Amino acid sequence: MIHTTLRGFARVCALALILSGNLLFVAPVGAQEAAAETAAAEPVKTHTLMDRFHEGGWVMYPLTLCSVALVWLTVDLWMRTSLKNMAPPSQVAQTQDLFRAGDYVGAYQFCKNNNSYFADVSRVGLSFAGEGQNATEEALFTELAKVNATIQTRINYLSVLGVCTPMIGLVGTVTGMMSAFATLGTSGVGDPSKLAGAIGEVLVATASGLAVAVPAFMFFYFLRNRLQGSINGLQEVVHALFRKMPYEHLKDAHVGEEEFYAAIPNWVAGGEPAAVAVAAA
């Protein structure tokens, strides 16, 4: 009797274990099927570029202006730092022919009528040719430094963009966090959609600022190195042009058209002694 009862109890336990195992296996499958049906029933929401722009908040407008400035500066500086644009081969060849013919006045007029960094540097050098080699070389060096400073100043604007755009994105991050905490304080955690929208503004603003800053710094260093190489090439072309210049034959000659303002002191021109004139002054 006891054995029969034990056998029946064991069978009941075994049957319960089997049924519980089947339920544990079926329940996750049913939950997954229900989740899949729910996901299939709900339409998938996609975010367009304009949606991201609006999510970023008001900081996206200055960041858009910065991105346009980045593209414009990059294209402009790429053209300016090209050695072919700094010293066009046709202008270099024509100026060399005029130098070979000894027509320095014609070379000055040619450089004056053409717009390039090579023409500007050569024109300044020719205007100082009558004052000797040292004055001419100093004028060439000064003009080359001026060209380098002019283009380098424009390149520095890329560095300004690289520094300012993350800060603008950070402002959007701070304002977005303020909005997120304000939403959390008024509606609590019961409405996660509003909180998610504020957090989305934070992330989009920060990412947009970095998306402008990273290429700005990359182009800044690349164009700066490209400028140095082009300046060195321009310097070699100009120095080769003025090498073996016959300064002794150009002494006191005025090749250019610049106006001279310095004159003989009035007391010397008037015939008065210098000491008396200075005392009277």
How many C-beta atoms lie closer than 10 Å to residue 172's C-beta?
A: 24
**Cα 222–223–229 angle (5° rounding)?**
95
Half-sphere exposure of 185 (CA within 13 A, CB side): 6
Full residue range of the structural domain in which residue 226 is found: 58-257
- Whether residue 52 lies inside any domain: the answer is no
Give the per-residue pLDDT at 18: 44
The pTM score is 0.71
What's the CA gap between 63 and 56, in Å, rounded? 10
Half-sphere exposure of 225 (CA within 13 A, CB side): 5
Full pLDDT tens readout for the chain, 281 residues: 444 444 554 454 444 434 444 433 344 444 444 444 544 444 545 656 566 666 667 888 899 999 999 999 999 999 999 999 999 999 999 999 999 999 999 999 999 999 999 999 999 999 999 889 999 999 999 999 999 999 999 999 999 999 999 999 888 888 777 776 776 666 655 566 666 666 666 778 888 889 999 999 999 999 999 999 999 999 999 999 999 899 888 888 888 777 778 878 888 865 555 444 444 44
**Cα 184–186–187 angle (5° rounding)?**
70
Domain count, the chain: 1
- Whether residue 92 lies inside any domain: the answer is yes
- Whether residue 268 lies inside any domain: the answer is no
- Whether residue 156 lies inside any domain: the answer is yes
Half-sphere exposure of 50 (CA within 13 A, CB side): 0
Strand, coil or helix: what is 247?
A: coil
- Whether residue 30 lies inside any domain: the answer is no
What's the CA gap between 201 and 190, in Å, rounded? 20
Give the per-residue pLDDT at 264: 82
